[in-house]
Amino acid sequence: MDKFLYQKGYLILALLFISLMCVSCSSVSSYNVNIKYEPTKAVSRPNSDLSKVVFTVAEFNDSRKIDNRYIIGRVVDTKDRKIPVITIQQEPSTSIAHALRDALYKANLTVTGDIPKWDLQEKGIKKEWGRIVIGGNIQQLEVVVKEGLTTKAYEAKANIKLMVGDVKKAQIFYIPTYESANTWTDISVSDEKIQKILNSVITTIIDRVISDKELWGKISEIVKKDP
């Protein structure tokens, strides 16, 4: 009898916990995140020849097919309701540019403080942008969380196309594409956990930019020919 009462009490507590979780989730109108570069190891200069080269990182173009550029994903709750995930300080086009600029700075490169707008056209390159300008397109940026009764499935994806320009010649000379994806499961949903998986894919892409030997080799070659 005591064992039955114990099991019954445990079941009631479990159901109460699940109910509270559902009520808590249903009261959330949005999840809010910030896009940042969060490296897990020290960043080193990609090429020693570039110590005196001045870089400008331009604001990215957001080419996602979405009306509200601040929305970068959704949480799908157990009742199939879709709760938006929103960037809270800047649009992704600006946040990713800031993240890339921070990474270049951490890599001991000389980076201008401004993040200008650029239409990604060669005629739009301005002489005051140093020696090399880097901009690009956000082709995909999304985080989705699907809630179950006991676990929550997180998935984040990003695809960025860079446009790298020679400022002196007002010429785009390299257009690489980088992508990343990550998944994991958890027992709860929060702004912090969504932000963590989102920034993990952004950081992976930026780390790939920093370690792209072909990119930095092309930049080094251009600067050697015409400092």
pLDDT tens digits, 66-112: 999 999 999 999 999 999 999 998 999 999 999 999 999 999 999 99
Domains parsed from the chain with CATH numbers: 30-225 (3.40.50)
Confidence at residue 182, expressed as pLDDT on a 0 to 100 scale: 98
What percentage of the chain carries pLDDT values higher than 70?
89
Reply yes or no on whether the pLDDT at 6 is more than 60: no
- In the predicted model, what is the mean pLDDT of residues 26-51? 87
Distance CA 209, CA 205 (A): 6
Confidence at residue 188, expressed as pLDDT on a 0 to 100 scale: 95
Residue 116's Cβ-side half-sphere holds a number of Cα atoms within 13 Å equal to 16
In SS3 terms, 120-146 reads as: CCHHHCCHHHCCEEEEEEEEEEEEEEE
Reply yes or no on whether the pLDDT at 1 is more than 70: no
Confidence at residue 141, expressed as pLDDT on a 0 to 100 scale: 97
Confidence at residue 81, expressed as pLDDT on a 0 to 100 scale: 95
Q: What is the DSSP string of 53-112?
A: -EEEEPPPEE--S-S-TTEEEEEE-TT--EEEEEESSS-HHHHHHHHHHHHHHHTT-EE-
